[in-house]
Structure 1
Amino acid sequence: MIKKLDWYIIQKFLTTFFFAIMILVVISCVIDYSEKVDNIVQKKAPFMVVLNYYKNFIPHITALLFHLFIFIATIFFTSKMAYKSEIIAILSSGVSFQRFLRPYLIGASFLCAISLAANHWIIPLANKQRVAFEDKYINDGNYAIPGENVHLAYAKDAYVYIKNFNFTSGKGNGFTAEKMKGTLLLEKMMADDVSYDSIKQTWHLHNIIVRRNDTLHETVTKLDDIYINYPFKPTDLNRNEALKEALTTPELIEYIKTESLRGRENLNMFYVEKDRRTSQPFAGLILTVIGACIASRKIRGGSGFHLALGISISAIYVMFMQLSTTFSTKASLDPLISVWIPNFIFAIIAYYLYRRQVK
């Protein structure tokens, strides 16, 4: 049963957390608007559209630091309780430290459940509209494929390669299409320039060389122009990384399957995003235990020292997360392991601090 002590601590926990998040949201919106105001005024974005953007921006920025603000809130209100000798009175009344931690775990579990549901469904839906606004009014809708070449498998044993493509003009260069039969190259079509006709939904190739091979004979054909109805559109070539944030988890899983069939290289950033949505909420639970263990002792320096320590630990956690994510996207570390490594390390720290407090 949840008793008065539990309700007292849970109320302080949630009140402090939501107050901290509210301050974060206000500051973040002001900073973001100051950075984008020139584009917004220049593009004459309607007031309601801008308002809708910030309605979707708030869940995005909140989700980024949700678990860290759980930790900061825990440190802050627990330190205040310790400074007022409330924790000493609670423990002196016969309440064990395990029992004292129960309301912390209840509050953290509640916030963890909210974060879990939001990460998988609510935040991506908000990000769709946020990214659409930024594409139209901030980024000018201009995307260029990165320096590396883009490969796409659009059918079984059929591949296409484009060296460079501009999504605004719908034009590119260095186009190659290959048809295979096992390890045998049946046809290779090379074009200097390629453009997409959005009305006819066909691809227009310029200065083409077609090489065909039937195992016995090879033919070479040169063409000036040709229209081909390939089963893919320019959007299928778009490697905008913000896309992963705008897909719900079921959509993200389906997207990964589709891109894998198309032969896209290095999908680890999408696997990292999928697994991060689950690991991040549990980080809040682990950090709550660490915060409660650290701030429950009354020490010289009071809340200021505890907050400084909490911010330092938060920075270390972010550093570990960034480092492990980089190892996954750049060095082929398993994405599932990379997003859970910081949680495992801090879980060990939490257990050590807990055992120390119990003793």
Structure 2
Amino acid sequence: MKIIDIYILKRYLVTFSVMLLMFIPIGITIDVSEKVNKMIEKKIPLKDILIYYGDFTIYFANLLFPIFLFLSIIWFTSKLANNTEIIAILSSGISFARFLRPFIFGAVIVSIFALLMGFFLVPKASKGFNDFRYQNLKGNSQTRETSDIFRQINKEGKLEENIYVSNYNYISQTGFNFTYEKIIDNKLIEKVIANRIKFNEKTKDYTLYGYNKRIVGVDNDQITINDKINVSYNFEPDDLTPVIYVAETMTIGQLNSFIDKERERGNGNINTYLVVFYKKFSLPISAFILTIIAVAVSSMKRRGGMGINLAIGIVIAFTFIFFDKVFGTLAEKSSIPPFIAVWFPNLVFGILATYLLRNAKR
């Protein structure tokens, strides 16, 4: 690797790191200013707060990773252009493609780092970040609840088992208006209704309150009523939690196994899990695309100086984020295949990167 490659690669990585170190404390400061009163009111231990902001740092950095990367490249490449360093490099006989090589090396390093974070670190940080917020910082309601949850927990041949909960509290692991149905050959065989269901962490079973069980017979039905009873079912509390929340807290291996299990169950919300799964791979690839776009946009010396390049960069970066969020939502709520929806922004901006790169070479 030549001196020029080391010089550019060093500027690439240092500027990106400095950008993270600049904006993350700003994000923490804003978050503290919004939540300090609740933290004091609830007397949250300092140790828990420090752990929360450690998770917040990873979560925040991963969320805004494309913007940080893009703006950092725009910044230091524009400085190279304004100092006529790029003109000197190209005038020495180095082609634009050769000039781009250290930027690609930098993108490889950043992509590998982002990939490993998305596979292993971000899921744990996401769980800690969300758990802390919903236990301590959501006003008087220290819960995270979902409503109208229907799940098919088993389907084997003619056998089908379904559950329904009108409301589920993630923190206390308690559901309300619980219904269990066992169906064989499209005929209802057994139905259980309970006012409340609570998961027992130690025994791995469920306590049902206001229990009412009906077994459908040929002539007469068999009815069992109890105020409180412990029952084992073939589903876990994660089946009742918010789908995005669950997917975000799993490592790549756990998420892959979870998706396979949900497919077997015929879960209608499988697209939500697939969006999270595919984004773990698409986000690192975006580092290459954004790097090429940033270099192509900022390598030309403009009359407006660095400000024009930064303005263009901000517009492109937020457009990329907008595309990413919109198509991710469409995949979850419509019939668009999740793979296409997640990778479509990279495809569009990949075409844009190719176009800008050709113009930059000229």
Specify whether residues 228 and 45 from structure 1 end up closer, same or farther in structure 2 by C-alpha distance, changes over 3 A only: closer
Deviation at 1:205, TM superposition (A): 4.3
Contact 1:268–1:332 at 8 Å: present in 2 too? no
For the 8 Å contact 1:71–1:291, the answer to whether it is kept is yes
Distance 2:199 2:250 in 1: 27
Q: CA deviation at 1:222?
A: 6.7
Match among 179, 196, 207 for residue 194 of structure 1: 196
Give unpaired runs (5+ residues) of structure 1: none
Q: Which runs of 5+ in 2 are unaligned?
A: none
Q: What letter corresponds to residue 303 of structure 2 in structure 1?
A: R
> Which residue of structure 1 lines up, in the alignment, with residue 95 of structure 2?
96
Residue 351 of structure 1: CA displacement? 0.7
Structure 1 contact 185–213 (Cα < 8 Å) conserved: no
CA apart distance, 1:323: 1.4
Q: What is the aligned partner in structure 2 of residue 150 from structure 1?
A: 150
Distance 1:197 1:22 in 2: 42
C-alpha contact (below 8 Å) 1:163/1:175 kept by paired residues: yes
Shift of 1:59: 1.1
**Pairs within 5 Å for 1:1-359:** 2-139=1-138, 141-146=142-147, 148-153=148-153, 156=156, 157-166=160-169, 172-191=175-194, 193-196=195-198, 198=200, 201-206=205-210, 208=212, 210-214=214-218, 217=219, 219=221, 221=223, 223=225, 225=227, 227-231=229-233, 232=235, 234-239=237-242, 241-359=244-362
Contact 2:144–2:169 (Cα < 8 Å) also in 1: yes
Q: Is the 8 A contact 1:149 1:164 kept in 2?
A: yes
Which string of whole-angstrom CA distances, capped at 9 and with x for unpartnered residues, describes residues 250-275 of structure 1? Answer: 11122223334444331222211111
| TM-aligned CA deviation for residue 167 of structure 1 | 5.0
DSSP-derived class of the 2:30 partner: helix
Question: How has the CA–CA distance of structure 1 residues 205 and 259 changed in structure 2, closer, same or farther, with 3 Å as cutoff?
Answer: farther
Measure the CA separation in 2 of the matches of 1:66 and 1:171.
36
Secondary structure in 1 matching 2:93: coil
Q: Secondary structure at the match of 1:203?
A: strand
Q: Deviation digits for residues 155-188 of structure 1, max 9, x if unmatched? A: 7522222223445666554332221223232223
Report the Cα offset of residue 69 of structure 1. 1.6
Change (3 A) 1:295 1:43: same
Secondary structure in 1 matching 2:144: coil
| Aligned equivalents of 1:46, 1:225: Cα separation in 2 | 39
- Give the match's secondary structure for 1:298: coil
Q: What RMSD, in angstroms, separates the aligned Cα atoms of the two structures?
A: 2.4
Report the 3-state secondary structure (helix = DSSP H, G, I; strand = E; otherwise coil) of the residue aligned with 2:64. Answer: helix
For 1:180, the aligned partner's letter is I
Tell me the CA shift for residue 224 of structure 1.
5.6
Distance 1:34 1:258, change over 3 A: farther
- Distance (Å, rounded) in 1 between the aligned partners of 2:89 and 2:66: 27
Please give the alpha-carbon distance, in whole angstroms, between the structure 2 residues aligned to 1:312 and 1:180: 54
Provide the TM-score with structure 1 as the length reference.
Answer: 0.90
Counterparts of 2:352 and 2:136 in 1: how far apart (Å)?
Answer: 45
Question: Counterpart of 2:119 in structure 1: which amino acid?
Answer: H
Provide the C-alpha distance between the structure 2 equivalents of 1:297 and 1:91, rounded to a whole number of angstroms: 12
User: In structure 1, what residue type is equivalent to 2:315?
Assistant: S
Q: Structure 2 CA distance, aligned partners of 1:119 and 1:159?
A: 33
CA contact (8 A) 1:10 1:103 kept: yes
Contact 1:210 1:222 in 2 (8 A): yes
CA distance in 2, matches of 1:85, 1:13: 18
Deviation for aligned residue 1:150: 2.4
Q: Percent identity?
A: 33
The code of the aligned residue for 1:355 comes to R
- For 2:173 and 2:288, locate their aligned partners in 1 and report how far apart those are by CA, in whole Å: 48
The CA deviation at 1:141 is 4.1
Contact 2:146/2:241 (<8 A) preserved = yes
User: 2:174, 2:114 → 1: CA distance?
Assistant: 42
CA separation in 1, counterparts of 2:262 and 2:353? 39
- Number of aligned pairs? 354
1:301 is paired with a residue of what secondary structure? coil
The one-letter amino acid paired with 1:85 is T
